[in-house]
A and B are shown apart, each in its own frame.
Chain A
Amino acid sequence: MIFSSITFLYYFLPILLLSYFITPNRYKNFILLLFSLLFYFYGEPTYIWILLFSCIFNFYIGKKIGKSFNTKKSKVYLVLGIVINFGLLFYFKYTDFMITNINQILSISIPLMHIVMPIGISFFTFQTVGYLVDVYQGKVAYNNKFLDFATYVTLFPQLVAGPIVRYVTVEEELKSRNHSYSQFAQGVKRFVIGLAKKVLLANILGELASSLAGITVPTILSTWVHAIAVTLQIYFDFSGYSDMAIGLGLLFGFHFLENFNYPLIASSITDFWRRWHISLSSWLKDYIYIPLGGSRVSKLKWIRNIFIVWFCTGFWHGAAWNFIMWGLYFAVLLVIEKVILKDFLKKHKIIAHIYTILLVVFSFVIFSQESGTILNLFKCLFGLGNLTFTNAETVYYIRSYGILLLVAVMAATPILTNQMKQFQNKKWMTIVEPIYYVVLLLVCTAFLIDASFNPFLYFRF
């Protein structure tokens, strides 16, 4: 089930809200667990057992690690936990990729296994491994209530497409949490904004990107607009989902950490990754980069660490070479930036922004294409593909989607949010603001009802 669906909005959520708020506090986690499993089962009936296994196994291993804290046994349990969790992830996500590459390198033909990847496995694997490591390091106490732990692992707002919620973030709220009008309204606002980002911006940008990808005669301009549309689509798709997840969390009393902070206004690639998919980059930093020594090692080892982390970032996103290239592309940029460009970018803000956005757009060209077509696309972007600058078809799409592109660019900056904040305390906002959110919700509903394009990009990760 996806948040931006009529099934979720007008069937699942109303029943859940009703059930949740009429249930006494001590049974609220049970309701959340039940509905979260239903939520997952609806989208992935075959693999629900993997999720259940993950809950039971990690609960048990976490307990074992916690009980044998500071002994050799705890390390054994941790290693076992990591191997099983990543083993499952590797099996479901990477087996066919590995077979394909082995076949190509050795010129053999091991048959592919055509394994279907369970939805959200990349997210809940990282969450549970993070939990085990935190228990092992003594950062959190192990959870000895299965209901609470299973609620954490399966919590539907963040289950299938993140953000990667650390156990420590919700540890206390799993035990007891407050519900208030203020928090609920905050959640509603966040959810509706996320829904609008997804339905009104990402989906329509996706239509534009798809039209431009299928253009009869590509032009230099169409290739650029396509690259920009894809970048904005991915941003609004994923940040919209994160907003919805954070908003839904608030409805049920959970406070998830921010996952995006206007990454497209970043002034360097380092800054970009402090603002983009924060939960993933901080996870990789805390559980891979720092344990490897981080930056407090020799320069050569530090560069190695950066390349390992960014290889993992790329590979986490998908079992394909373009994702690995995408990760390593950022590794190269970050090393160059930290070694050579750091001071220059600090002094020249405008150049820094242009430099960052261009490199980010290029990164999403790599991200969104199959590895074989990437070079060709870059040739087109730089006019090396024997293309004309523009044609009638390109102009048509730019005219047709021009306003949407402008709105999307504006929405990717804090301008609109800051404007809204200025009016927050005005008296008339008491009426206008609720109307704004209801209208936005109804417009999103209208687009969903008449939708032909509504995939979630991050579901495949």
Chain B
Amino acid sequence: MKDKIITYSFILVIEGFFLLNLWILDQKISFSERRDYQTFPQLTWDSIHSKDWMNDFDRYTLDQFAFRDSFRSLKAHVVFDVFHNLDNNKIFVKDDIIFKSEYPINEGSIQRFIQKMNTLKNKYLKNNKVYYSIIPDKNYYLKDSTHLNLDYGQLYDMVINGLQDMEFIDLRDILSLNDYYRTDTHWRQERLLPVAQKLGNQMGFAIDTSYQERKYAPFYGVYYGQAALKLPPDELIYLENEELKQAIVTSYEGDNLLYNTSKLGSMDSYDVFLSGATPFITIENPSKTNEKELIIFRDSFGSSLTPLLISAYSKITLVDLRYMNTKVMEEFITFENQDVLILYSTLLVNNSVSIRD
């Protein structure tokens, strides 16, 4: 009897999933993993001969497997609850906050970042007052000796000692873990007024602090899908006022919107801020006639902070050097006496290979 049950249950599982996989329609995109899924590969003689078809088909079977997300969740539970691993694919959860381990320190990457920024300063920004700030990622505030963490002291020391003729603005003491989304890597815009004020204090500008909150929920951040665990989602709040509504956004790629609400509920709702990754954006503030301009070299953290700085400038130019090389940049910007802010997260400094020449 037992042998029959084992035989039929095995057949049921493998034949059942085989038929289910044939029956279920293929998905093109994974919202939880934020990537395109492999679709059924085209069969050609060349693709078979080179084994490309087989490799693609293997990926296809993984991506399109029925209940894929539930299986990923099962795996995460076994990893954490049975094996008691401290992380699953570098992801771990503490007090319902999802972290992604960033370890070890990559000195080569930090040096590369320093060299790039010094070159930028010497080549293009000789006549500009340049400020810089390194945004700590949320692991910085993880008070936990269990997990491996970057030697942030070394990272900051290297950057501060390495960057020349630029003024450092230290944001470490005015941020806390609560200023970051629980399910995402980024900081929360509604909690960034102290950051904007600190930048203003050091750079010599004052910002408007009266905003209305616009809320979107549930917001599932980038780590949520990677964790594959049932955890409470975040609420995404963005700040608006009349001045921001009148701001004129010109984007080199993408939509000319300060807040692109069509991105809410998309693969990455954080893209609501300036439509996500874009190489070059200008934001003009018609209600500010002081002719003060700011250029920000930034990563995605800058997208949510920038709207809070608009009240101080008549024009802000955003450059993302991950998507734009400096030679092209010259065609778009005439460097005069604008304020310049270099604003990158520790994550990017430690993985600076993505910054273009």
- Chain B associates with chain A: yes
> Contact residues of A with B, CB < 8 Å?
1, 5-7, 9-11, 13-15, 17-18, 42-43, 45-46, 181-182, 184-186, 188-189, 192, 204, 216, 392-393, 396, 399-404, 407, 429-431, 433-434, 437-438, 441-443, 445-452
Stretch at the interface among B80-88, B118-126, B184-192: B80-88
The CA-CA distance from A186 to B84 in the complex, in Å, is 31
- B25 near A: Cβ within 8 Å? no
The closest CB in chain A to the CB of B17 belongs to: A10
The closest CB in chain B to the CB of A451 belongs to: B62
Q: B56-99: contact bitstring with A at CB < 8 Å (1 yes, 0 no)?
A: 01100110010010011011101000111111010000000000
The CA-CA distance from A451 to B6 in the complex, in Å, is 26
Q: Known contacts A45-B49, A448-B62, A450-B89; is A438 also within 8 Å of B13 by CB?
A: yes
What would be 7 A-B contacts, judged by CB atoms less than 8 Å apart?
A5-B58, A185-B7, A400-B85, A430-B2, A434-B9, A441-B10, A442-B74
The B contact surface, by secondary structure, is helix
Q: Do A17 and B6 have beta carbons less than 8 Å apart?
A: no
Q: Do A11 and B5 have beta carbons less than 8 Å apart?
A: no
Q: Do B54 and A43 have beta carbons less than 8 Å apart?
A: yes
Q: Which of A42, A407, A433, A446 contacts B71 (CB 8 A)?
A: A446
The CA-CA distance from A216 to B108 in the complex, in Å, is 14
- Residues of A within 8 Å of B28, CB to CB, are none
Q: Do A14 and B15 have beta carbons less than 8 Å apart?
A: yes
Q: Do A399 and B146 have beta carbons less than 8 Å apart?
A: yes
The closest CB in chain A to the CB of B1 belongs to: A430
- Which of B61, B72, B84 counts the most chain A CB atoms within 10 A? B61
Further contacts, 19 of them, CB under 8 A, given A181-B3, A396-B147: A6-B61, A10-B18, A10-B21, A14-B18, A45-B49, A46-B49, A185-B3, A393-B148, A399-B86, A399-B146, A400-B85, A401-B83, A404-B83, A434-B2, A434-B6, A438-B10, A441-B10, A448-B62, A449-B68
- Residues of B within 8 Å of A6, CB to CB, are 58, 61-62, 65
- B14 near A: Cβ within 8 Å? yes
Q: Which of A13, A42, A43, A443 contacts B14 (CB 8 A)?
A: A13
Q: How many residues of B contact A (CB 8 A)?
A: 45
The CA-CA distance from A337 to B213 in the complex, in Å, is 79
- Residues of A within 8 Å of B85, CB to CB, are 400-401, 404
- B104 near A: Cβ within 8 Å? yes
CB distance from B153 to the nearest CB of A (A): 15
Q: B238-266: contact bitstring with A at CB < 8 Å (1 yes, 0 no)?
A: 00000000000000000000000000000
- B48 near A: Cβ within 8 Å? yes
- B4 near A: Cβ within 8 Å? yes
Q: Which 6 A-B pairs have the closest CB atoms?
A: A185-B3, A14-B18, A185-B6, A400-B86, A446-B75, A446-B74
Q: Known contacts A185-B3, A438-B13; is A450 also within 8 Å of B148 by CB?
A: no
CB distance from A336 to the nearest CB of B (A): 39
- B356 near A: Cβ within 8 Å? no
- B51 near A: Cβ within 8 Å? yes
